[in-house]
Structure 1
Amino acid sequence: MTKSKLPETRYAQSGEVSIAYQMMGEGPVDLILVPGFISHIEFQHDLPGYTAFLRRLASFGRVVTFDKRGQGMSDRMSGAPSLEVRMDDVRAVMDTIGSKRAALVGFSEGGCMSVLFAATYPERVSHLILIGCFSRSADRWSDEAWEARLDQILRLWGAGELTKTIAPSEAGKPAVVAQYAKWERLASSPGALRTLLQLNRQIDVSAILPTLQVPALVLHSKADLQVPVDLGRKLAAGISGVKYIENPAGDHAVWTSNNETVPGQIEEFVTGRRDHGAVEVERVLATVLFTDIVDSTRSAAAMGDERWLRLLGDHDQIARDMVGKHRGNLVKSTGDGVLATFDGPGRAVRCAIALPRQ
């Protein structure tokens, strides 16, 4: 797969409901990624780091992503489906792609759904990986705090506020926050989200954990602001024979880390090795953009230090905004210019054209 080519969206039938899914990689291991409370499998490729995260997993397996019923590109519906009903979405996707057995990778609330599926269909689950998950939703907030939090989520839905808790490393980048805001709007409407979150509040798989018969790995970041690490520890404590890894850093949205840690831990757990892809992840095809203010030394002398420094500050802020808007990565400011990288020449050229001439 080339860097510019993204996976095709297809549909699986779960009863009368159409479930949107994508595949990347060719195996030999199937990895089914079970999302948290929102997802949009096509637009998520616009979020920084997401596609690279999937490609890293695809270096050792066939990676399958999907939107659960009621969200993203899957069929909408009135009300909110129970965890048991949503569990059928996993089975429908596996049946459609001909996957007899797969490793389930559950994120956040999707981990609870993965636990239920693994306990119900152990013959179809080779490994269970739970990332940033919990066992009992009510442990996260008291009833009073939850009502206030729910009102806050719904009031700010579609503005990118979620970035502050699931991807705080990106929260200071206006262009990225705008992308997360669009993701929120595409994934769910506020009304549908209210119904779903109220149902999710009742999730409790604590009693199911001791019945699990498949190898399980629990990964949690100490810095997770969405699901506190104590809940990850509690989840792991309820699973017999679990492998628990507590990473010292990282966002709740694991794809923002842009490193080898989590994909490498998953690969080692599933395949028993951790070397394939580790070299490839260092080899990135990128377009480099370098800018420079013409005659900066003479201009600085003519303007004076105070005015020149103010101009440089404005220049750097505009450059940051333009690079972010065009999905680039600002490597550094050079004093009288910037150095940035892009995943393709088109975005780099459009960014260069958009930068104002001084």
Structure 2
Amino acid sequence: MIEFKLPETRYALNSDVSVAYQVTGDGPIDLIVVPGFISHIEFQHELPGYTAFLRRLASFARVVTFDKRGQGMSDRMSGAPTLEERMDDVRAVMDTIGSERAALIGFSEGGCMSILFAATYPDRVSHLILTGCFSRSADRLSEEAWEARLEQILRLWGTGELTKSIAPSEAVDPAVIAQYAKWERLASSPGALRTLLRLNRQIDVTAILPTLQVPTLVLHSKADLQVPVALGRKLAAAIAGVRYIEYPIGDHAVWTSNNETVPGDIEEFVTGRRDHGLLEFERVLTTVLFTDIIDSTRNATAMGDERWVRLLGEHDQIAREMVSKHRGNLVKSTGDGVLATFDGPGRAVRCALAFGSAAKQIGLSVRAGLHTGEIEMRGSDVGGVAVHAAARVMSHCGSDEVLVSRVVTDLVAGAGLKFAERGSHELKGLPGKWDLFAASG
């Protein structure tokens, strides 16, 4: 089984300031991701889609993320860093990792500093990618509207309110909002944020846009609630030879949507091709969930076709809701059950337990089997040993039971879930004996 490890946090020293950074991948191209107004390079891996986004970029490049001084895991400071100081921090990180030349991906406010760096050090920037960016911060809101917005941000800081503007597609899930709330608190205190946002209000790089000499790609979503698309269009119009791509949908936070489109467009712009590294991502580590309705044939006969079909429809709707709520991917219906995948084993187990309880309320008894392992992506379908293992685990379930393999119990240790031993079993077509455990909340 392949284990994906999160990158280690290291520090680059710029004068007397330590700048935290992480490196993902070891490709031949360096990509420096310049964050927006807040960041926390370690906790951001808890946000849905973030790690997958970086791994996709890492399929063709060495990807570097960092926290600006005063943010996240970098040194705190009095006041707020100027664009020049932020630019020096990028240079310090590049020098520390031995990067002579890199492509810069400027996200939101980070785009302005990326523009300044690329214009100042064109020999060190191979490509410039700007996503959800602007050239003049004051263009976003009038002074009166901005002051009101600033006070609202500070009043609600640490509650996850930011999710509504930068990741509205995620704002329907209370668990995700709680994660964004923690990200806000870890990234910056309200007082430091006030200073930073007041300084950012003064940012204006419009005058240097015509001086850019590096190939530049501007990406923006029409649905961006944080930075209106008109500002992205204005930015692109002022850059000679720019390539501009506008998406009909998508959040301000690019890792939450267009998850293949955005990194694919970046890859094509930087490398000239789009398919590099796709084979690597045809196999991924995931938790597989199989469910099955107990005595479905007998129930269908007893109820009659019309009533049974209606009940199956309710069952499928519950499955969709439960899998979505627990951030899973509903791969397909198996007729009287479902196949779903999850990027977190704890969420998968909780989904299985919740689904079983909900199914009981409509008079259905279901069983569920889970296993964590490597799967093969086959378009919208999945395959591989892990899929077969989850199905075989389910076959040993009793009525209203959720069984998991040992690897699942090992991965969710400390998550508050309870497991009872169900012995060692041979799983048809799979080598050795497998220890199985019944899950409970």
TM norm. shorter chain > 0.5 = yes
Q: Aligned to 2:249, what secondary structure does the other structure show?
A: coil
Q: Distance in 2 between matches of 1:315 and 1:240?
A: 52
CA contact (8 A) 1:40 1:71 kept: yes
Q: Distance in 2 between matches of 1:334 and 1:180?
A: 35
Q: Aligned to 1:285, what secondary structure does the other structure show?
A: strand
Task: Tell me which amino acid in the other structure corresponds to 2:149.
Answer: R
The CA deviation at 1:294 is 5.5
Q: Distance in 2 between matches of 1:350 and 1:115?
A: 45
Task: Tell me which amino acid in the other structure corresponds to 1:275.
Answer: D
Match of 2:108 in 1: 108
The CA deviation at 1:226 is 0.8
Q: Distance in 2 between matches of 1:293 and 1:135?
A: 57
Q: Distance in 2 between matches of 1:236 and 1:165?
A: 22
Aligned CA distance change for structure 1 residues 336 and 39 (closer, same or farther; 3 Å): farther
Task: Tell me which amino acid in the other structure corresponds to 1:31.
Answer: L
The CA deviation at 1:316 is 6.7
The CA deviation at 1:24 is 0.9
**1:156-235 → structure 2 map (5 Å cutoff):** 156-235=156-235
Q: Distance in 1 between matches of 2:274 and 2:44?
A: 26
Q: Distance in 1 between matches of 2:189 and 2:338?
A: 39
Q: Aligned to 1:77, what secondary structure does the other structure show?
A: coil
Match of 2:71 in 1: 71
The CA deviation at 1:195 is 0.8
The gaps in structure 1 that reach 5 residues or longer are: none
In the alignment, structure 1 residue 260 sits paired with structure 2 residue 270: no
Q: Distance in 1 between matches of 2:119 and 2:105?
A: 14
Aligned CA distance change for structure 1 residues 267 and 320 (closer, same or farther; 3 Å): closer
The CA deviation at 1:286 is 2.4
Note the aligned Cα RMSD (angstroms): 2.9
Count of equivalent residues: 349
Match of 1:49 in 2: 49
Aligned CA distance change for structure 1 residues 168 and 350 (closer, same or farther; 3 Å): closer
Q: Aligned to 2:234, what secondary structure does the other structure show?
A: helix
Q: Distance in 1 between matches of 2:251 and 2:202?
A: 25
Aligned CA distance change for structure 1 residues 42 and 2 (closer, same or farther; 3 Å): farther
Match of 1:6 in 2: 6
Match of 2:82 in 1: 82
Q: Aligned to 1:213, what secondary structure does the other structure show?
A: coil
More strand by share: 2
CA contact (8 A) 2:13 2:92 kept: yes
Q: Distance in 1 between matches of 2:258 and 2:242?
A: 26
| Same amino acid, percent of matched pairs | 80
Q: Distance in 1 between matches of 2:147 and 2:345?
A: 47
CA contact (8 A) 1:318 1:355 kept: no
Q: Distance in 2 between matches of 1:331 and 1:145?
A: 45
Match of 2:149 in 1: 149
The CA deviation at 1:352 is 3.9
Q: Distance in 2 between matches of 1:227 and 1:179?
A: 22
Larger Rg: 2
Using the size of structure 1 for normalisation, the TM-score is 0.88
CA contact (8 A) 1:332 1:340 kept: yes
Using the size of structure 2 for normalisation, the TM-score is 0.72
